[in-house]
Amino acid sequence: MKIQSFTDLIAWKEAHKLALMIYRLTDKFPRKEMFSLTDQMRRCTVSVSSNIAEGFSRQSKKEKIQFYYTAKGSLTELQNQLLIARDVGYLEKPEFRKVSEQSILVSKLITGLIKSVKSR
């Protein structure tokens, strides 16, 4: 299959899935977190898939890679916030494990995208 759009990228698809997971999980957070941890986590997860999408549309290798690294940075920030959410009791262990595994998968896929662009 020829990749014609950012939506064809497995990394984007899995990052999108992660974003949906985060939105559903943060819906259950206390209202007092609406403008702090909830907002932070949602912005991070949206940033991951958005930077993959933007990187896809860039023409130069350097620009593509920069956007993919930015996506990876936002993902790492999200992983930190997931640990905080777990540790303050907003996420149960099974929920945390599932979303954590998804974030690790997305990280590996972004690393693959970066390697793919570098090798072209």
> pLDDT tens across 84-118, in order?
999 999 999 999 999 999 999 999 999 999 999 99
Cα–Cα dist 91/29, whole Å: 8
> pLDDT tens across 11-24, in order?
999 999 999 999 99
pLDDT at residue 33, as a whole number? 83
Residue found by looking up tokens 């390697």 in the block: 115
pLDDT at residue 36, as a whole number? 92
Mean pLDDT, all residues of the chain: 96
Domain boundaries, the chain: 6-119
pTM for the whole structure: 0.94
Cα–Cα dist 45/41, whole Å: 6
The mean per-residue pLDDT over the stretch 39-57 comes to 97
Specify the CATH superfamily of domain 6-119.
23S rRNA-intervening sequence (1.20.1440.60)
27-41, 57-71, 78-92, 96-110: which range is least confident on average?
27-41
- Of the candidates 3, 17, 94, the residue with the CA atom closest to the CA atom of residue 48: 17
